Amino acid sequence: MEFSLQQLALIAVAGVVAGLINGTVGGGSLLTYAVLTLMGTPPVLAAATNTTGLSTGNAAALVPHRDGATVNLRDWRMHAVWTAAGSLAGGLLLIVLPDKVFEFIVPVLLIFASVMMIRPPRPSSSEPLTPSRTKRLLFGSGIYNGYFGPGQGVIAMSILFRDGRLSVAQSVVIKNLVLTLSNVVVATLFIVTGHVLWSAALTLLMSVAAGGWVGGSIAHLIRPAVLRYGVATMGLLSAFWFLVHR
């Protein structure tokens, strides 16, 4: 599938906005996935290309926090490994299962991700999770990330809030840590198996990295409510498009 220069420019703009959102609370991948699918990209290729293209955004958002002043990243390395293992499993499911299975459930996944955007995660007042349960939940969220992706940042934030050991700002940093490794692992799988549309993926790699760097630097200044509702609207429009074109 070939993209025009105008389409690539639109993908680049969506990538910058998605990187900005992913560098803060998360969920920007829903925007880029919606843009790709509304351009007519087959659902499975759109999912694989989207995940690959967004693999730099969370890493870029980590750069301002690499000194460990906000939170010690080393204490959360195994959580990242568990999330990445789940993403690998999800990515294998996307490749092995028939495309028709993904095409059938993708509107449901889009609606779910859109609702997650509208109802952002908040610090939990319930009993904190044990570290082992946090890892298991992150593994489960990783499966979702590898199979579909959009909304994974919001899911990870919800889990980290329930963990109870992190402030909101620290949760953002650790969310970026676990998603960085998760996305790199599953993106490698998609690249090796030939499921990536490179013109779109390279455009996203550069634009998302720029947006993620900005987002990670100014996360404490951003009120993403307006962006969240805009992204959720795109997700719902994409779901409607899939339902109409079945």
- pLDDT mean by block of 10 residues, the chain; 246 residues: 92 88 71 89 92 82 72 90 97 92 86 77 69 93 91 83 83 89 94 95 90 67 65 78 72
> Exposure string (b/e) for 210-219, b if CB count within 10 Å is 16 or more?
bbbbbbbeeb
Predicted model pTM: 0.81
Q: Which two structure tokens, joined as six digits, stand for 146?
A: 């590898």
Q: Which two structure tokens, joined as six digits, stand for 151?
A: 């909304």
What's the CA gap between 206 and 210, in Å, rounded? Answer: 6
> Exposure string (b/e) for 161-189, b if CB count within 10 Å is 16 or more?
bbbeebeeebbbbbbbbbbbbbbbbbbeb
Angle at 169 between CA 137 and CA 58, to 5 degrees: 65
pLDDT at residue 216, as a whole number: 60
Q: Which two structure tokens, joined as six digits, stand for 11?
A: 């993908």
Answer whether 3's CB lies under 8 Å from 39's CB: yes
pLDDT at residue 192, as a whole number: 95
Cα torsion at 229, 234, 236, 240 (round to 10°)? 160
- Dihedrals phi, psi of 153, to nearest 5 degrees: -65, -40
